[in-house]
Amino acid sequence: MALRSRRLPAREPRARPSDHRLPPCGRRVLSYHISFDPAELDVELIHAFLSGSYWSPGIPRHTVERAIAHSLCVGAYAKDEEGKNEQVAFARVITDRATFAYLADVFVLPAHRGQGVARQMLEALQAHPELQGLRRWALFTRDMQPLYAKLGWEPYPHPDRLMVREDAEVYSR
């Protein structure tokens, strides 16, 4: 089932400690919209961000493309004064669409952080019709627990039951 994109109002940016190293957006953002349309995804941007992230350093582009193709993805897009849309955020869900969903690869470009874009994107995912009635959602995060807690996420109540099989060096071999 295709979803229509949802227009969101832009908010005034708040300074964040990490923004001093990056150039400002350069144009005033007039509006954001959230879309589940895979054709709108900027795979080059997504790959560039993920390959430099702490959770998937060096991830090959073909792996990102395959992950996107087999996931439910959402993007947030900014429209500037010239009317140009550009992707500023991304998230994907790996799911069977019946019982379980794993939230992964959530990011917002630094110039657009602190404006509620991640929250709006995650709320849209959680409201997606194909993700209703799931028994469990899961995610891994090193530093964004406060954001997820505001959306009803909690630490796993039974860590003794949770196991993982991880190969942290898979992209560097």
Instruction: Give the model confidence (pLDDT) of 20-74 as tens digits.
Output: 223 344 445 557 899 999 999 999 999 999 999 999 999 999 999 999 999 999 9
CATH of domain 6-15+28-161: 3.40.630.30
Rounded Cα distance between 54 and 153, Å, is 21
- Is there a contact between 64 and 50 (Cβ–Cβ < 8 Å)? yes
- Look up the pTM and report it: 0.80
**Percent of the chain at pLDDT exceeding 70:** 82
Instruction: Give the model confidence (pLDDT) of 85-105 as tens digits.
Output: 899 999 999 999 999 999 999
DSSP letters, 58-106, are T--HHHHHHHHHTSEEEEEEEEETT--EEEEEEEEEEE-SSSEEEEEEE
Q: Whats the size of the chain, residue-wise?
A: 173
Instruction: Retrieve residue 150's tokens.
Output: 């505001």
- Ramachandran region of residue 114, left (φ > 0), alpha (ψ -120 to 50) or beta? left
Rounded Cα distance between 161 and 63, Å, is 29
